[in-house]
């Protein structure tokens, strides 16, 4: 009797590319679950925690401020659920920009793998920085930050926020948290992952610190300033990929980068070192959200100064590398001197060839010498 061999075929497994192509669909389905939960009374209370902002307080109207009551917000543990939901929204928007904008440009330009990844990174970040700058500037104008800079430290702690202010911080935290799964979805190279983790961690550390320490006014101004400079860099890099002769944007960015670091240090020292240091209430009070004590002020200024120094160090290394590449590219090539054989004058060699090199059509070619001898 013939013995049947057992089948060694393994069961079908979902490929990594399949997961990457469909991650946006999976995330959108999860987000739709929370939205559909608002339609049913049983799940509405749980879904509201994820979709809408929590911890609102309604202040009664006064004669000095406004004729209507004002709704303000403070932070709490439920904000983590809201950040999670809008992190899913950020992943969906990221996939839409990638598929319908960046991928189409990549197909037309035919970038290499290195340029392809950098182009995608700059395309995503430039869109986010532009949107955040416009949104943050709108908040600064609407809340009179520009006309009255003392609002940065006056009436601290700033534990009550407007809807736009709190939603801005929730969106910022959600975007930078979404960058972690995007490292997997975008198939980031292993050598690029440490660099990505460093700057994602720095963003989350400073944004969460300003949010939790009730320094949201100062944090908003510094974020708008920093995002504007970073937007200029990434938009310049996008133009550079389309035309490598384009260098004007980088020159302008280099000047604004240094000015941005100086303004960040000036505003931080002015707000934390002088404004909060002269405030009357300098007691640590977790219930009131007051962190205006010497140790916290020193920690805040130290973290800002160390971060600015780290960014300047990276900036100087970047500029030195660019200057070296530019000088190497423009270095003139050394021309070899023509070798002159003995017994021949340079004039004769010039007449018979080009730059001293004898050609086969010259008078001293082997064929002509044979004809002369005959």
| pTM of the full structure | 0.81
The number of angstroms, rounded, from the C-alpha of 146 to the middle of its chain's C-alpha atoms is: 26
pLDDT at 46 over 80: yes
Q: What pLDDT, on the 0 to 100 scale, is given for residue 281?
A: 84
For residue range 87-139, list pLDDT tens digits in order.
999 999 999 999 899 989 988 888 887 788 889 999 999 999 999 999 999 99
Helix %, strand %, coil % of the chain (to 5): 65, 5, 30
User: What's the average model confidence in pLDDT over 295-309?
Assistant: 96
Mean pLDDT of 239-267: 89
Instruction: Give the C-alpha separation, 267 to 262, whole Å.
Output: 9
Average pLDDT over residues 330-340: 54
Mind giving me the DSSP string for 75-117? --TTHHHHHHHHHHHHHHHHHHHIIIIIHHHHHHHT--HHHHH
| The pLDDT value given to residue 186 | 84
* Model pLDDT, residue 4: 52
- Six-digit token string for 95: 């996939």
For residue 339, the model assigns a pLDDT of: 53
How sure is the predictor about 67, in pLDDT bands with cuts at 50, 70 and 90? Answer: low
pLDDT category at 189 given cuts 50, 70, 90 is confident
Quick one: pLDDT at residue 24?
76
Whether 146 and 227 have beta carbons less than 8 Å apart is answered as: no
286, containing H or E segment: none
- 224-239 pLDDT, tens digit per residue, is 999 999 999 999 999 9
| Contact in structure between 82 and 53 (CB atoms under 8 Å) | yes
Which pLDDT value is given to residue 373?
A: 46
For the CA atoms of 85, 87, 91, 92, the dihedral, rounded to the nearest 10 degrees, stands at 30
Kindly report which listed range (46-55, 66-75, 145-154) carries the lowest average pLDDT score: 66-75
Average pLDDT over residues 168-184: 95
Which pLDDT score is estimated for 332? 56
d(CA 79, CA 82): 5
Asked whether residue 11 carries a pLDDT value surpassing 70, the answer given is: no
> Is there a contact between 57 and 76 (Cβ–Cβ < 8 Å)?
no
The pLDDT score that the predictor gives to residue 371 is 47
Average pLDDT for residues 362-369, to the nearest whole number? Answer: 45
pLDDT of residue 34: 86
Instruction: Take residue 230 and report the two structure tokens written for it.
Output: 């970073």
């Amino acid at each position: 009797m013939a013995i049947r061999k057992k089948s060694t075929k393994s069961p079908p497994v979902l490929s990594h590319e399949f997961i990457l192509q469909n991650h946006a669909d999976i995330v959108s389905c999860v987000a739709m679950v929370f939205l559909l939960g608002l339609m049913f009374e049983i799940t509405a209370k749980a879904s509201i925690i994820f979709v809408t902002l929590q911890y609102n307080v309604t202040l009664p109207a006064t004669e000095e401020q406004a004729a209507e009551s004002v709704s303000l917000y403070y932070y709490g543990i439920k904000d983590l659920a809201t950040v999670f939901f809008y992190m899913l929204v950020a992943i969906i928007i990221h996939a839409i920009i990638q598929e319908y904008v960046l991928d189409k440009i990549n197909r037309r330009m035919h970038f290499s793998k290195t340029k392809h990844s950098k182009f995608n990174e700059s395309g995503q970040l430039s869109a986010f920085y532009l949107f955040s700058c416009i949104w943050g500037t709108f908040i600064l104008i609407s809340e009179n930050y520009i006309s009255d800079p003392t609002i940065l430290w006056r009436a601290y702690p700033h534990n009550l926020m407007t809807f736009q202010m709190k939603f801005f911080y929730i969106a910022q935290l959600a975007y930078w948290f979404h960058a972690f799964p995007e490292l997997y979805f975008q198939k980031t190279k292993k050598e690029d992952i440490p660099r990505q983790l460093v700057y994602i961690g720095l963003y989350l550390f400073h944004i969460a610190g300003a949010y939790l320490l009730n320094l949201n006014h100062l944090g908003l101004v510094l974020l708008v300033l920093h995002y504007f400079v970073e937007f200029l860099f990434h938009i310049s890099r996008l133009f550079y990929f389309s035309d490598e002769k384009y260098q004007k944007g980088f020159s302008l960015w280099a000047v604004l980068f240094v000015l941005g670091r100086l303004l960040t240090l000036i505003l931080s020292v002015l707000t934390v070192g002088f404004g909060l240091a002269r405030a009357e209430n300098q007691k640590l009070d977790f219930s009131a959200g007051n962190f205006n004590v010497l140790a916290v002020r020193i920690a805040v200024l130290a973290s800002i100064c160390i971060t600015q120094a780290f960014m300047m160090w990276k900036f100087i290394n970047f500029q030195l590398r660019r200057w070296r590449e530019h000088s190497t590219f423009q270095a003139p090539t050394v021309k070899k001197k023509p070798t002159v054989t003995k017994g021949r004058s340079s004039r004769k060699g010039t007449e018979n060839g080009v730059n001293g090199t004898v050609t086969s059509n010259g008078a001293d070619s082997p064929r002509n010498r044979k004809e002369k001898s005959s």
